[in-house]
Chain A
Amino acid sequence: MGSILSGAEAASLVRALPGVDAVGLEARAAGLATRSVKTTSKARAIDLAISMIDLTTLEGADTPGKVRSLAAKAVRPDGDAPSTAAVCVYPSMVATAKEALRGTGVKVASVATGFPAGQVPLDVRLADTEAAVRAGADEIDMVINRGAFLAGDLERVFHEIKAVKAASGDARLKVILETGELATYDAVRQASWLAMHAGADFIKTSTGKVGVNATLPVTLLMMQAVRDFRAATGVQVGVKPAGGIRNTKDAIKYLVAVNETLGDDWLSNEWFRFGASSLLNDLLMQRQKLKTGRYSGPDYVTVD
């Protein structure tokens, strides 16, 4: 979907957004984090969280074997546990992942656009994207140009996202804001709206490659942004926190935030994802605990 706005219009809309009070936002996030999700609700939340995972491997050392192993885990994590939403890999691994996941319903997501820094020429970023799509990626996780954003060149960021959106074709586009580098909540809110105006299907917090990745307050802020964007434009956008969400307790806090900020409309992997790798095994161990009443251990879930 292309934006009907010009870059200048989008930039001025974004600059006029109301501010964010950091302490108030963090207090609200902390309040949501005190929700106690137990027994049957917890069982539901765990399966929901599993189904929302973009099971991710983004390492220089990734090999086809590693990706196939991960794909198998994504499809059938443990017993009757649901599949994850997607497997997320580098473009060079898309074909392997696609092959491994054919017919399973688990999507292939590919980071692109010179991930994670994005500090390569735009034509290279677009070529990267097109290659991933050609190789069969269902979803593209792009990074925004933080340098341009921090330099105040919002129009450039807007046009680049539009260009990547066009290059992505039918693949759903997740726009990574790299919130840890944007540094302020005001900037996160602006970047969220800029990305949505430019055609993002998802807004995503982080690459997982910098010091500060997803936090609950930042993700809550992005949830408020997609809520308000839909109210303003009628267009629904998904949210994906990524990096640093390692255990069940944390994942449930995010689900509570979705539940109380966005409600049912976002409570599926169509509209909410976790970008994570180690989270899955913790969810599986907690799942076993709920079933058996005994605490599980790392030797009772697979290392992939």
Chain B
Amino acid sequence: MSEHERLRVKKTYKLYVGGKFPRSESGRSYPVSSPDGTELANAALASRKDARDAVAAARKAQRPWAGQTAYLRGQILYRAAEMLEGRAGQFAEELADATGADPREALGTVEQAIDRLVHYAGWTDKYTSVLGGANPVGGPYFNHTTPEPLGVVAVVAPQDDPLLGLIEAFAPAIATGNTAVVLASEAKPLPALSLGEVLATSDLPGGVVNLLSGKVSEVAPHLASHADVNGLDLGGVADAGLAAELEAAAAETLKVVRRPGRDGGALDLLRQWTEYKTVWHPAGMAAGAGGAY
């Protein structure tokens, strides 16, 4: 037997972009510590180019993802919940390290996160009928409205709720057929980066969710101004001045913006990242019905 205690193999925390786990293209990383100052790991420090790559990956994945049946999207989200459940212990540990929470409390949070994924898995084939419907127009037309995904949604995830809050932010977006670029909690990114491993093994196509770690002030402005991003969730932007700047940058291409501090139920979140499409078609056939001439 060795005289040494076995050296633990530490994980390198990398980004999750397009179904792959790249380091930051900039080659940079930053140290991540727990609230008590214990050094946990070095996380990749995403650059604007990582943000650009993530948006490109999300765009590429969006049309096929939205084109999947709602039933299949639901099964894939449920599969992600299954994968997370299998690793609940690991996530509880990471979450406790990240937030300083009591491990049992952290496990409870992980379980809630799993349940939220299950919840949104069940929404994929229901929100369309709940939010949309047939419209009784005053003419010979069939008219119906359906919610459709916005496209690519960029999410600045909550800073203090690094797993549950992050899942709560992106799950409604992808449940409705959007793809997401998610900037994890700046100081507590590790649970999010590990979540990438769960997503990668849950049949979720690469690019549907892309996870970045880094500085909000550095990365978020590039997401906010990116012309190929359609929605922007500022939930995790603590600095009101920065939030206003990001919203103004997003206005350049008229992105849909969710401001910080907004509460809302699941349906509100599902609605946030959809746009209604209304389709008209004439309804009529008989020549005999041609009016009284």
Contacts and interface: CB of A to CB of B under 8 A. Distances in A.
The answer to whether A and B touch in the complex, with CB atoms under 8 Å apart, is yes
21 contacts: A22-B282, A22-B284, A22-B285, A22-B287, A23-B140, A23-B282, A26-B140, A26-B284, A30-B291, A183-B287, A184-B287, A185-B287, A188-B287, A211-B288, A212-B288, A214-B293, A215-B287, A215-B293, A216-B293, A218-B287, A245-B293
Interface in A193-215: 211-212, 214-215
Given A23-B141, A23-B282, A29 B291 contact: yes
Nearest to A215: B290
A172 B90 CA distance: 93
B240 interface: no
B1 interface: no
A216 B283 CA distance: 19
Interface string A21-33: 1111010011001
Interface in B260-293: 282-291, 293
Interface of B: 140-141, 282-291, 293
A7 interface: no
A286 interface: no
A30 B293 CA distance: 10
Interface size class of A (residues with CB under 8 A): 20 to 34
Contacts of A21: 282, 284
Interface string A212-225: 10111110000000
A216 B292 CA distance: 9
Contacts of B285: 22, 184-185
A24 B282 contact: yes
A218 B287 CA distance: 7
Given A214-B293, A250-B293, A253-B293, A23 B287 contact: no
B258 to A, nearest CB: 40
Contacts of A216: 290-291, 293
Nearest to A212: B288
Nearest to A189: B287
A23 B140 CA distance: 7
A258 to B, nearest CB: 14
A37 to B, nearest CB: 15
A96 interface: no
Contacts of A182: 287
A82 interface: no
A244 interface: yes
B158 to A, nearest CB: 51
A33 B282 CA distance: 20
Nearest to B293: A216
Contacts of A253: 293
Interface in A143-194: 179-180, 182-185, 187-188
Contacts of A187: 287
A167 B288 CA distance: 32
A184 B293 contact: no
Contact of A244 (B286, B289, B293): B293
A31 to B, nearest CB: 12
A183 B288 contact: yes
B287 A217 contact: yes
A215 B291 contact: yes
Contacts of B293: 29, 33, 214-217, 244-245, 250, 253
Ordered nearest first, which 8 A-B pairs have the shortest CB separation? A23-B282, A215-B290, A22-B284, A216-B293, A217-B290, A212-B288, A23-B284, A23-B140
